[in-house]
Structure 1
Amino acid sequence: MTKPISPALAPAGSAPDPARASTPRTTAAGPKMDGISWAMLLTLSLLWGGSFFFTEVALRDLPPFTLVLARVALASVILWLVIAVRRIALPTSRPIWISFMVMGLLNNLLPFSLIVWSQTYIASGLAAILNATTPLFTLMIAHIATDNEKLSSRKVIGVVTGFIGVLIVTGIPAFDGLGQAKDIIGNEDLSLATIAPFAVLIAAISYGCAAIFGRRFKNTPPLVTAAGQTTASSLMLVPIVCLVDAPWTLPVPGLPTWLAVAGIASISTALAYLLYFKLLGRAGASNLALVTFLIPISAILLGFCFLGESLGTNDIAGMLAIGLGLAIIDGRPLSWLRKTLLSPKSATGA
């Protein structure tokens, strides 16, 4: 595999690398988001937001862990086929393949399993709120573990504002989901219901760690990184699925389920993770984690456009709050507004 030439090793007078020239600039607080990065983030939120449609259909015939395994296993097959067609060279060092295992654990196996398990005890709305803490944890982890993604007051204010937006969209009553679950499952599983929210928080921390850990793949083609991660998580999921779901005893799924699995594997996993690793290398872990705020919006808008679902006042208010939080983090809209309002023409009323 050919590695990109670093600026220090580039021959004098050579033409600039177009890919490198299009990379957003980096400041002491971390990589800056440019228009392309924001477009990639929005697209990624749509790909992951669409997974709710596929999951709702597939869960009618498949248990959760079997669905997760089908999702990542089929995605890995698709990615390896693309790699073979494009004849992309594969890394040969053992450490990078071990890193794929760690990435599969942090980004797939651990968070997927914890969130699926927790939703058997708590409402999905509460799980969505707790999962939206991912950017908060990522900011803290990046501040400790990196040299170029440090905390700033603007980032903190923006992330907190975006999190408030998620609370509004999801609905504060979602916090009643834990109490409702306790009433349903009875006292014998009360302790498990109590720790279920913490399982989602651990999943959010795992996503944050994965975003930081994934920075080491910047010299590896995103296709290879995505394929390595999904393959590793598939191998680790096989014994879990055999022990928990015993899929060989399940009835054969219908055509809608097969189509849903194909959709969630190809669109919401294979394509999404290809974009994920490209955006991670371009914009950094802290900015990548912001996709968690946009996923609820994407799911709501997709439901409005394709399923005829209505938009409530809380949906619109939450979207505006999330948009404000992202604008604060980006900085450019507020900077433009400040310059416009404080310009001499504005001050004189010209």
Structure 2
Amino acid sequence: MKGLFQTKWSVISIAVLCSVLWGSAFPVLKISYEELQMAPDDIIAKIVFAGIRFLLAGVIVLAILLIINPKRIFITRRQLFVLVILGIVQTALQYFFFYNGLAKVTGMQGSILAASGTFFTVILAHYYYKNDRLNWKKSIGLTAGFIGIIIANWGQELRLSFDWDGEGFMILSGVTTAVATIMAKELATGIHPFAVTGWQLSLGAILMLVIGVPQISKDAITFSPLGWGLLIYLALLSSAAFGLWYSLLKYNHAGEISIYKFVSPVAGTSLSSIFVPGENLNVSIILAIMMVAMGIIAVNYPSKQVDQLKQKQVG
């Protein structure tokens, strides 16, 4: 099993699979909104739906951890406090913006706008870590990425479209992702990655359900067999992609696999154009995908200094 996560082509295949799974969430969510008859402006319905999904995903991750390493599922009081904070920021707040923002933009736009989290993380890391400063490669990547995000909101009529509760929420979701990434790295040291994700997903989801369930109207969400299937798929893709990704991180350098995250917006836009009615690829979207993908590759491309350090460590 260890070799599966170390062989070059299997590592690439698994990294690409994870990115495709994350990308597939965009069209699946758009279809889910229609199938479950959730109104675009119904914020509470989105909160409850996200809460159900991530509670299922969190429980699945914790169940996997219970099987592979039962002792790591237990946490201290201090760790519980940290995980509650992460649950609030990384699950409840981030996905409040994400779910409600995605309801107001297309699946293709959402796939591209969500990539802003990668770029905001690079910017925050520059100011927070002395050994993770911006260089010319990262600067070019950030420029290309943000240009792509702007182009994604440029319609066929060459008019810039931006609504705070649509594109704005997606950008805020990206900012929250970046903040949560730094917080998780700093606060969650010593906690097994599966425990971090499982607990913060579950705790954040419980908060969303506690807030949403008492306020939701009777017919806000109409479940159907297909709707349940889509919900279960979303929960499973989160837990599966997470499990595979962290298994890769365990045996490989982060930059070596993060570079394949460019596949996520490509998959998200492509799958949205195939499965979401009324969404079609156009020149601006294709150009935006290219710019964002180039940006993700550039900011994650390992520098010569990193390669030299790795060679010294191996020697």
**1:47-89 CA-partner distances (Å, limit 9, x unpaired):** 1111123213322215322210111011122223222333421
- For residues 104-119 of structure 1, the aligned pairs below 5 Å read 104-118=87-101
Q: What one-letter code is carried by the residue in structure 2 that aligns with 1:173?
A: G
Tell me, in whole angstroms, the C-alpha distance in 1 between the residues paired with 2:77 and 2:222: 39
Partner of 2:227: 257
- 2:197 maps to 1:214: no
2:134 partner letter: L
**Aligned counterparts of 2:10 and 2:62: Cα–Cα separation in 1:** 27
Quick check: 1:79 aligned with 2:53?
A: no
Residues 244/251 of structure 1: CA separation in 2 closer, same or farther (3 Å cut): closer
Q: CA deviation at 1:106?
A: 1.9
1: CA distance, partners of 2:27 / 2:113: 21
* TM-score, length-scaled by structure 1: 0.66
Q: What amino acid does structure 1 have at the position aligned with 2:205?
A: S
Q: State which of 23, 32, 52 in structure 2 corresponds to 1:70.
A: 52
Identify the match of residue 298 of structure 1 among 242, 267, 270: 267
**Distance 1:149-1:278 versus aligned 2 partners, 3 A rule:** farther
Counterparts of 1:126 and 1:296, CA distance in 2: 9
Aligned match of 1:274 in 202, 227, 243?
243
Identical counterparts, % of pairs: 17
TM-score, normalised to structure 2's length? 0.72
Within 1, Cα distance between the matches of 2:25 and 2:103? 19
Q: Secondary structure at the match of 1:50?
A: helix
User: Does the Cα contact within 8 Å between 1:211 and 1:280 map onto a contact in 2?
Assistant: no
Maintained 8 Å contact 1:166/1:296: no
User: What is the match of residue 46 of structure 1?
Assistant: 20
Q: Report SS of the residue matched to 1:147.
A: coil
- Change in CA separation of 1:306 and 1:172 when aligned onto 2, cut-off 3 Å: closer
The yes-or-no answer on 1:329 pairing with 2:311 is no
Asked if 1:204 corresponds to 2:187, the answer is no
Residues 117 and 300 of structure 1, relative CA distance in 2, 3 Å threshold: closer
Check 1:326–1:130 CA distance in 2 against 1; reply closer, same or farther (3 A cut). Answer: closer
Shift of 1:299: 1.5
Shift in Å at residue 109 of structure 1?
0.8
C-alpha contact 1:107 1:206 (8 A) present in aligned 2: yes
Inter-partner Cα distance in structure 1 for 2:221 and 2:295: 46
Q: Distance in 1 between matches of 2:181 and 2:112?
A: 19
**What does residue 233 of structure 1 align with?**
204
**CA, structure 1 residues 306+225, in 2 after alignment: closer, same or farther (shift >3 Å)?**
same
Among candidates 88, 91, 97, match of residue 70 of structure 2: 88
Deviation at 1:264, TM superposition (A): 0.3
CA RMSD of aligned residues (A): 4.0
Q: Is the 8 A contact 1:122 1:196 kept in 2?
A: yes
Structure 2 runs not aligned, ≥5 long: 39-44, 305-315
Change (3 A) 1:135 1:277: same
Corresponding residue pairs, total: 288
Tell me the CA shift for residue 142 of structure 1.
1.0
Judged with a 3 Å threshold, the aligned counterparts in structure 2 of structure 1 residues 122 and 177 are, in CA distance, closer, same or farther, namely: farther
Contact 2:145–2:296 at 8 Å: present in 1 too? yes
